[in-house]
Structure 1
Amino acid sequence: MPNSLANLFGPVGHESVADTIVHHIEELIVSGVLKDGTRLPSERALAEEMKVSRPKVREALKRLEENGLIIVRHGEGNFVAPLVGSAMSPALVDLYARHVTAFEDYLEFRREQESFAAMLAAERATEEDREILRDIVHELEVAHEKGDAEASRDADVRFHAAIVDASHNSLMVHTMAAIYQLMARNVFYNRDFLRAIDGTGEMLMAQHKAIADAIISGQPELASDAASDHIDFVARSFRVGRAQDRREIVSRRRKALLSLRA
């Protein structure tokens, strides 16, 4: 952990130590490296890696808390505060879940944002970003081969979030983090349903690999198109599934009516 902390925080100068610490952590939050709910290292670990005294770290953390950027949970540590908030209130989530047009709006929003994010990622991704994508694609492949739905769902969410991170657009990083919270909770997105439409999940796997390959190889237009195609597949699958549900409801009612006549 200390080595990774050195890469993340690093030493600071001593002109105005507390101010420098505050500024550095603020930059990590603005850039999306530190996101809502991220736990910060302990005061001791921060002091060691930044090569400053613990009182200076404590002073900086106090300022960040006063500015509403971190929250202190006694006995647990310091965490990045909920800056973006939830994408929607629970009541609105329930309302959207009952109305088909809301889901279509959600997909429309994701299509444009993820297509743009994939394009930027293909242009801006660092080798570390590409390595993260390769690792997650490998996780998706392993989960797919094992038929592990939970692992697939988790890797799926992290895959899309990693692409947005690789866009290096801080506003998009924070905004989409709230949207992906809904994915993680299986709101507006049911991967099991998509696998049922696909049959085996092969198409989903191929789509994710196509997006990743385009980003890793630095092809912005191809990455953008691949991301759009993926969301289009989700939208088509949703419409096919709804149509099938309606047919099954009609068939059950017809069967029930026939049984009454018998």
Structure 2
Amino acid sequence: MVSVNNLFEPIDHDTVVDSVTDQIEGLILAGVLKEGTKLPSEREISDRMGVSRPKVREALKRLEESNLINIRHGEGSFIAPLISAAMSPALINLISRNQTAFYDYLEYRRVQEGFAARLAAERATKLDLDRIEELLVNLREAQAAGDDSASKKSDIAFHSSIVDASHNAMLVHMMSSIYELTKKGVFYNREFLRAIDGTGEQLLEQHEEIGRAIMNRNSAKAEDAAHRHIDFVETSFRLGQDQQRRELISSKLFAIQKIEE
């Protein structure tokens, strides 16, 4: 659940329910509240905004009727699925099994992440930059510890933090959907990529380069570094898959030779 601190502003308008609704809608639109995020309790929202709990409850009900939040009795209120519902489980499964679609996914990420890195270098706030630096530290520590799970988690969080720092609402929501699928291993297995890399050092260096360019406010270099990172991922996977095919053919040839002996 997100913290209520600094999230909402006090309400001083005549139309209280409209104002509460507008604030939450604005946070959703800006990508501050992403799908699946648990909202603070009615009491916390009420205290922060300086309005009555019945008014907050009415606003939440309105948001639920607009399909922007899901209210689960006994659990709380959650931001509803916003983008990922556009792809059905059947389509996601089909894409994950299709090699051409996989490279389409990388092509899409290359363009969007380059754009996000450029915007982040131009627009990132101090808090955004602090978050990016914190995630680079996490990536270094995970790499040093050889922790694949932590490395994968920090990798996705790092890219997501750059998109957030772009402050482009459409980009934030679209890429949030992509990263959710990536977290679930729909498109590729990061452990496979690290194996191709050898140690994961090249991936770490690429993330460092992207982060440094953003923190130095070098938008062109940030965009180029993001492009080269995705190019590396694509090239590595192609080489890895080619090697797997060669090994499969070799194993079949060896099996035939054994039969003929």
**What interval of TM-score do these two structures reach, taking the shorter chain for normalisation?**
over 0.9
- The 2-side partners of 1:32 and 1:174 are apart by 6
Q: Which residue of 2 aligns with 1:59?
A: 58
Other structure's SS at 1:41 match: coil
Cα shift at 1:96:
2.2
Q: Which residue of 1 aligns with 2:214?
A: 215
Other structure's SS at 1:134 match: helix
Report which stretch shifted further, 120-129 or 64-73: 64-73
| Superposed CA offset, 1:134-164 (max 9, x none) | 1111111111111110111111111111111
Other structure's SS at 1:13 match: coil
Identity %: 55
Other structure's SS at 2:71 match: strand
| Superposed CA offset, 1:187-228 (max 9, x none) | 212211111111110000000011111111111000000000
- The 2-side partners of 1:86 and 1:238 are apart by 28
Contact kept, 8 Å, 1:87 with 1:178, in 2: the verdict is no
TM-score by length of 2: 0.96
Other structure's SS at 1:120 match: helix
Cα shift at 1:6:
3.1
Contact kept, 8 Å, 1:87 with 1:179, in 2: the verdict is no
- The 2-side partners of 1:233 and 1:66 are apart by 45
Q: Which residue of 2 aligns with 1:99?
A: 98
Other structure's SS at 2:244 match: helix
Cα shift at 1:93:
2.5
Tell me: CA distance 1:87–1:16, structure 2 relative to 1, closer, same or farther (3 Å): closer
Tell me: CA distance 1:233–1:252, structure 2 relative to 1, closer, same or farther (3 Å): same
Cα shift at 1:102:
1.0
| Superposed CA offset, 1:113-136 (max 9, x none) | 000010001000000110111111
Q: Which residue of 1 aligns with 2:204?
A: 205
Cα shift at 1:95:
2.0
| Superposed CA offset, 1:4-51 (max 9, x none) | 523111312142111111111110000000011110000001111111
| Superposed CA offset, 1:165-205 (max 9, x none) | 11000001111111111110112122111111111100000
- The 1-side partners of 2:154 and 2:46 are apart by 34
Aligned residues: 261
- The 1-side partners of 2:143 and 2:23 are apart by 40
1:236 is aligned to 2:241? no
Cα shift at 1:87:
5.7
Q: Which residue of 1 aligns with 2:175?
A: 176
Report which stretch shifted further, 26-35 or 13-22: 13-22
- The 1-side partners of 2:125 and 2:15 are apart by 31
- The 1-side partners of 2:258 and 2:47 are apart by 77
1:35 is aligned to 2:34? yes
Q: Which residue of 2 aligns with 1:252?
A: 251
For 1:237, give the aligned amino acid: S
Tell me: CA distance 1:203–1:43, structure 2 relative to 1, closer, same or farther (3 Å): same
Unaligned residue ranges in structure 2 (runs of 5+): none
Q: Which residue of 2 aligns with 1:156?
A: 155
Unaligned residue ranges in structure 1 (runs of 5+): none
Q: Which residue of 1 aligns with 2:68?
A: 69
Report which stretch shifted further, 229-238 or 10-19: 10-19
Q: Which residue of 1 aligns with 2:138?
A: 139
Report which stretch shifted further, 100-109 or 88-97: 88-97
Aligned-pair Cα RMSD in Å: 1.4
- The 1-side partners of 2:12 and 2:216 are apart by 38
For 1:71, give the aligned amino acid: N
Tell me: CA distance 1:86–1:145, structure 2 relative to 1, closer, same or farther (3 Å): farther
1:127 is aligned to 2:126? yes
- The 2-side partners of 1:139 and 1:86 are apart by 31
Q: Which residue of 2 aligns with 1:88?
A: 87
Contact kept, 8 Å, 1:124 with 1:167, in 2: the verdict is yes
Contact kept, 8 Å, 1:32 with 1:173, in 2: the verdict is yes
